[in-house]
Homo-oligomer: A and B are copies of this chain.
């Protein structure tokens, strides 16, 4: 049932598949991390989530904003804002047929910068570590977008 040999035979595409999946899985892991902080900090957003409380006052107290939970949520939001564009532009870039070594460089720099970004955000590390990680990731995506646009601007 492997009807798509042209794509799946491409080494660049297999590399993109793997890096995109790794970085999207990393993004998805922010959800359980948020849940972990919500349970350990006893801090929830919905009344129906406060089942562990014994009294109505306890329930109300659990409906609050906790700085640790908010930090993880901001990191998750930053992932959405950066990793999704990488996946979209990275896929289009992959289909332009770049050299494997150039493509791998882009994918590795991006994924590495986002792994470091998460560590720098959650611990947190002192600035500008988080800011630099964010910029490096943006740069890798911009560099791939440049190639896509060069090959496609005839069709604007």
Contacts and interface: CB of A to CB of B under 8 A. Distances in A.
A18 B97 contact: no
A156 B15 CA distance: 6
A36 B20 CA distance: 29
Interface of A is mostly: helix
B14 A154 contact: yes
27 contacts: A1-B11, A1-B98, A3-B6, A3-B7, A4-B6, A4-B95, A6-B6, A6-B7, A8-B96, A14-B152, A15-B155, A15-B156, A17-B96, A21-B89, A24-B85, A24-B89, A24-B145, A25-B145, A28-B82, A28-B85, A31-B82, A31-B134, A80-B80, A80-B81, A80-B84, A84-B84, A87-B88
